[in-house]
Homo-oligomer: A and B are copies of this chain.
Amino acid sequence: MEYSIHQVSEKMHIRPTVLRFYEKEGLLPSVRRTPSGIRRYTGEDLEWIGLITCLKNTGMSIKQIREFVDLSLEGDGTLKRRCELLLEHKKQVEAQIDEMHRHLDKVACKIEFFSRQYAQYQKAQGDRSGTA
């Protein structure tokens, strides 16, 4: 079965403009066309898009994704390399998440700091209205 760019757009939650953009950037090689040049996506294309989305969602840049895609186009000889790349990416993302947790802890500290200040401020306000 084949899909129009709008069907893919709905299915994958990616705008048609973005699908065209990704194709231009080399992230989607080999999308077929009708004789008049209109894109027709196959199930295989959808799988590609799923992988790309997955990598994008974890913060991989278009450039890096293209490198991965280029490797894929070279054939099975690059399978090992691709596995390694994905594992490396996964590690990086995990490290990012860890870092984010640390940063978040600092935010929590700041919140506590402001909460205290607010409590003091309220107390001061209360005292003043009590004195009146």
Contacts and interface: CB of A to CB of B under 8 A. Distances in A.
Interface string A79-93: 110110011011001
Count this chain's copies in the assembly.
2
A55 B107 contact: yes
A63 interface: no
Contacts of A129: none
A2 interface: no
Given A90-B104, A104-B90, A107-B93, A114 B83 contact: yes
Interface of A: 51, 54-55, 57-58, 76, 79-80, 82-83, 86-87, 89-90, 93-94, 96-97, 99-101, 103-104, 106-108, 110-111, 114-115, 117-118, 121
